[in-house]
Amino acid sequence: VFGSVDEVDAFTGMSSEQHVPGTEFGELQLAMWTAQFTALRDGDRFFYDNDPVLEEIRDEFGIDYRRSLASVIADNTEVDADSLPTNVFLLETGGDDTDTGGNDNDTGATTARDAVA
């Protein structure tokens, strides 16, 4: 279809790239999404992390707003923090760390239904 790689449409090329390990994007698409979301976050004056008062609260009262959902769950339930995965949004798949972001808490669950049952 294309005479050479230099004639490939950018969107077609991005869609055809090998995925960067641990992502659903190739290098170009990952760089574009990263740049876009970084600009959105940094340019949003209402984004919580851009609030200078948070540092003052942390310094004065020792309250740190940077918490994971796992720590919130542990603080508000009977679940021990050590038994929770670092990222509670990822489903563990039975020993293959590539799908769990490197989490070592293996439940052996392969689907959400298995994890609940």
Element (H, E) at 57: helix 53-61
Please tell me what DSSP assigns to residue 6. Answer: G
Give, in degrees to the nearest 5, the angle at Cα 108 between 103 and 113.
110
Please tell me the pTM assigned to this model: 0.49
What's the pLDDT tens digit per position in 68-102?
A: 899 899 999 999 989 999 889 887 776 555 544 44
Give the whole-angstrom CA distance, residue 55 versus residue 48: 11
What's the pLDDT tens digit per position in 18-66?
A: 999 999 999 999 999 999 999 999 999 888 888 888 889 889 998 887 7
SS3 113: helix
- The pLDDT assigned to 102 comes to 46
